Structure 1
Amino acid sequence: MASRRLAEALRGRLDIREGYDGLEITSTSFVGRVDVGPLRIAIGPKLPAMPLARLLRYAYGLRDVTAVEETRSPTTRHGLHDLLISLLAAEVEELLHRGLARRYIPLSENLESPRGHILIDQMIRQGGVREARLPCRHFERRADWHLNQVLRAGLEVGARLAEDRNLRRRAHQLSSMFGDVERLVSLGADDIDRADRGLTRLTASCGPALTIIRLLHDALGIAFDSGQPPSRTPGFLFDMNVFFQRLLSRFLHDNLAGARIADEPAIRNLFAYAPDANPRQRRAPAPRPDYALFYDKELHGFLDAKYRDVWERSLPAEWLYQLSIYALASPSEVSVLLYASMSAEARDERVEVRQPVTWSNKRPASVVLRPVSLSYLAELLDPDRARSLADERRRLADQLVVPSTRNYDMLAA
């Protein structure tokens, strides 16, 4: 019964059904692993470890502190979570090498050698000096404060989650190097938010590690309602759709030359309730595409990003309806779907949104389905060739946002 409830809670991320030929499992954009009763389900990413680590670093602004070689990375055997934990370990190892960030902690205590501010009021309340010590308030620079506590807790979460034995041992060793830093009983989203908000110029180097800890925490399971206190699924599910959207957003922001994009803009006034037929005063929905394309200040069109390989797996009808709305709302009457692909044969496709009557002369709107080669993108983001590949990155960014079907013969030339 618990397994069935868990399968229902996973619906939309991982579809588990009993079919005529046995158990049928379908994944959407999530990768990782999850335990449903005695069954362990593992979903691997499309990319090998090395290019995936590079894309993760770029998308989330992680420092390239070490090279995670494909031959050494545990992701091919154990999944994306071990790759993230490996990246976290590399980040924390660098922080420990530099020295943990310390903070002045206020302390009030009786001291034989007074320092700081002598608490005269407290001495008066005690009836004067009764011992060879004076009450003082002073500040001591310590590593035991909230930011370091979250970093240590994140390492310990990673150690519990890691399936690779060497990676688990490495995470435990790094955690022990935090010394007197207090262990948090549990690590919650509020703890990570508080540490993130408290970052300053002096502690900004901890930002990438906090980003990975947040990714691990958010993917550590799905809460579901069973009529009892909420519980978490035993597993790890990482949304590649969110990652892919963020990856493309940063790539386009960094490399578009003559244009710019805005992230998740609301298309207002596309829908509106009739003033004389809205008795409940409802607010009309405002669709939010992933990106809006601008040339100077002029809106040119809308784009969406999906991790699903449409070239190999076709286009879901509900996506086409959504993209058609974006096309009709666009000044160019074209919307573009950027989808992740590993196929070398993938090419642009165009779906025309026609008027369903034969006598209409209105030009059809268009939905362009455009593949984004993850392998090629990872090559262009090689940090060792960042300067030499700058022109190629700009060229690709400009090609991705073109609101028409690309001519691949011309691009190859």
Structure 2
Amino acid sequence: MPAATITVFEHQKLKLNQTYKGICFSDSYLKALQKYHGEKGTPFFSLIHNGVQFNEHVGVLQVGTLRIEVLPKVEHTQMDAQGSSEGSWRDLLIDMFKVVQGVEAKSNTNSFSRVKSNSILDLYFMLFLQEVEELLHRGLIKRYRTTEGNQKALKGSLRFAPHLRENLVHKERFFVRYTTYDHQHLLHQILYKTLALIQTLSSNAQLSTSVGAVLLRFPEMETITVTEATFERIPFDRKNNAYQKAIQIARLLLLNYHPDVQQGRHDVLALMFDMNALWEEFIFMTLKKAPQTYSNLRAQHPKPFWKPLQGGRSVGMKPDITYSYNGQTIVLDTKWKNIQSANPSVDDLRQLYVYHEYFDAQRVALVYPGKQDFRNGRYFNFDQSASEKECAVICLDVHPRIRVWQEEIREKIRTYLHN
């Protein structure tokens, strides 16, 4: 049954019994979200009186047959001025994910490029199917595994105690331990479980057809229970390195799926992403496309900053983005919030001052989405005299066409910081 979809934006509220484009946010859906929120809470939304309020995370929450889509939105931008619809913001978010995941590089050579991903959930289903299809094309790896059980022929080693216990009547059987070299191992069991989950959750007809075709080619696996520990015990090496991307997406889907074991009607899948982290990664991948201009580009590159004298863990510094230009170090700190004409927060400015000092940076800048703007400010010394250290504030207008937007971002940062 296709999922009904309610679309909201960051920080928007969903109230009990309100109707959104003909879909009622009923008491059963609210209770399912309240149960998912639990006592420990979740960063995705907050509970309010008879409703929920979403935070800075975007993506999809699927509750039974209801899909809640949370989109980003920055007011007072070019997109906002054009009165862009939900579809425009959805398309922009999907395009940002494609840039971050490197989908465009694969799309021309993969049959799934014909599948239209009209939601973040569909996009990740498509990415997973792409990876599995590539693994099938290469050939799934085999591993040795040890099996015990009754067989009609003697092979391996005979297990005397269980053989005597179970086969006193059935003289034609042997309880043996033997080694098999086949596809039945943890990597494939995880992938198979993810394929089955996608088949259950997908409401996209093209994707449903595609996952069915992949399942026909994929060997049937034993059903396993998957937890965080399941993924932690997977060692990647040269032989299975090609599985990393597929396992990464499988982990994202399986660990964020919460089945309703009591009623079986309101299973919850939470595929939500911190918009600050996505904005940082998007800016990084955008600048990475121009390596000659933005050389030695690094994201979240840690350096030790402080260590207690009596032992214990040291504290590191991890600026969002660093790169070199004409031998100078430039540090960028990205924030997904629209400050409009206001000044940056004191905490943000302090952070950039430390980057200035510690990384011996020639230029530092705060990068926000919003109405196109550039401001340069100077720090003061302790004696209130103006220092030589400056911190720029760059606001980048949001453009509905992703490649045009990326080109504008590269050009604006180059113009503002490389003079």
Structure 2 residue aligned with 1:368? 393
Inter-CA distance 403–47: structure 2 relative to 1 (3 Å threshold): same
Structure 1 residue aligned with 2:364? 335
Residue 57 of structure 1 contacts residue 63 of structure 1 at CA under 8 Å; is this kept in 2?
no
Residue 59 of structure 2 contacts residue 273 of structure 2 at CA under 8 Å; is this kept in 1?
yes
Match of 2:272 among 216, 237, 245: 237
* Residue 350, structure 1, aligned to residue 376, structure 2: yes
* Residue 32, structure 1, aligned to residue 60, structure 2: yes
1:82-121 mapped onto 2 (5 Å cutoff) = 82-106=122-146
Structure 2 residue aligned with 1:159? 199
C-alpha offsets along residues 265-310 of structure 1, whole Å, 9 cap, x if unaligned?
A: 44555x799x9xxxx99988544322333579x8724322344455
Q: In structure 1, what residue type is equivalent to 2:245?
A: P
Inter-CA distance 110–360: structure 2 relative to 1 (3 Å threshold): closer
Structure 1 residue aligned with 2:78? none
Match of 1:190 among 210, 229, 245: 229
Match of 2:102 among 53, 58, 62: 58
Distance in 1 separating the partners of 2:136 and 2:334: 37
Structure 2 residue aligned with 1:289? 319
Structure 2 residue aligned with 1:261? 297
* Residue 319, structure 1, aligned to residue 348, structure 2: yes
Q: TM-score, normalised by structure 1?
A: 0.62
The structural deviation recorded for 1:87 is 1.7
Q: In structure 2, what residue type is equivalent to 1:259?
A: S
Q: In structure 2, what residue type is equivalent to 1:66?
A: N
RMSD of aligned alpha carbons: 5.2
Give unmatched runs, 5+ long, in structure 1. 222-231, 382-391, 408-413
Residue 355 of structure 2 contacts residue 361 of structure 2 at CA under 8 Å; is this kept in 1?
no
Match of 1:300 among 325, 329, 333: 329
Distance in 2 separating the partners of 1:34 and 1:167: 17
The structural deviation recorded for 1:147 is 1.2
Distance in 2 separating the partners of 1:372 and 1:406: 20
Distance in 2 separating the partners of 1:327 and 1:181: 54
SS in 2 for 1:331: coil
Distance in 2 separating the partners of 1:311 and 1:291: 23
Inter-CA distance 285–252: structure 2 relative to 1 (3 Å threshold): same
Distance in 2 separating the partners of 1:8 and 1:318: 30
Q: In structure 1, what residue type is equivalent to 2:248?
A: T
Aligned-residue identity in percent = 17
Which shifted more, 321-330 or 85-94?
A: 321-330
C-alpha offsets along residues 163-207 of structure 1, whole Å, 9 cap, x if unaligned?
A: 4355345435533543332222x2223323434x2x444433323
SS in 1 for 2:59: strand
Distance in 1 separating the partners of 2:191 and 2:342: 40
Q: TM-score, normalised by structure 2?
A: 0.62
Structure 1 residue aligned with 2:71? 44
Inter-CA distance 326–14: structure 2 relative to 1 (3 Å threshold): farther
Q: In structure 1, what residue type is equivalent to 2:329?
A: H
Inter-CA distance 109–28: structure 2 relative to 1 (3 Å threshold): closer
Residue 30 of structure 1 contacts residue 238 of structure 1 at CA under 8 Å; is this kept in 2?
yes
Give unmatched runs, 5+ long, in structure 2. 1-29, 73-88, 165-170, 259-266
* Residue 14, structure 1, aligned to residue 14, structure 2: no
Residue 249 of structure 1 contacts residue 263 of structure 1 at CA under 8 Å; is this kept in 2?
yes
Q: In structure 2, what residue type is equivalent to 1:264?
A: Q
Task: Tell me the number of residue pairs that the alignment of Structure 1 and Structure 2 aligns.
Answer: 354
Residue 327 of structure 1 contacts residue 367 of structure 1 at CA under 8 Å; is this kept in 2?
no
Structure 2 residue aligned with 1:73? 116
Inter-CA distance 44–148: structure 2 relative to 1 (3 Å threshold): same
C-alpha offsets along residues 149-172 of structure 1, whole Å, 9 cap, x if unaligned?
A: 111112223334434355345435
The structural deviation recorded for 1:43 is 0.5
Inter-CA distance 244–256: structure 2 relative to 1 (3 Å threshold): same
Residue 51 of structure 1 contacts residue 375 of structure 1 at CA under 8 Å; is this kept in 2?
no
Q: In structure 1, what residue type is equivalent to 2:56?
A: T
The structural deviation recorded for 1:367 is 3.4
Inter-CA distance 162–100: structure 2 relative to 1 (3 Å threshold): same
Distance in 2 separating the partners of 1:67 and 1:350: 48
Inter-CA distance 379–367: structure 2 relative to 1 (3 Å threshold): closer
Inter-CA distance 176–244: structure 2 relative to 1 (3 Å threshold): farther
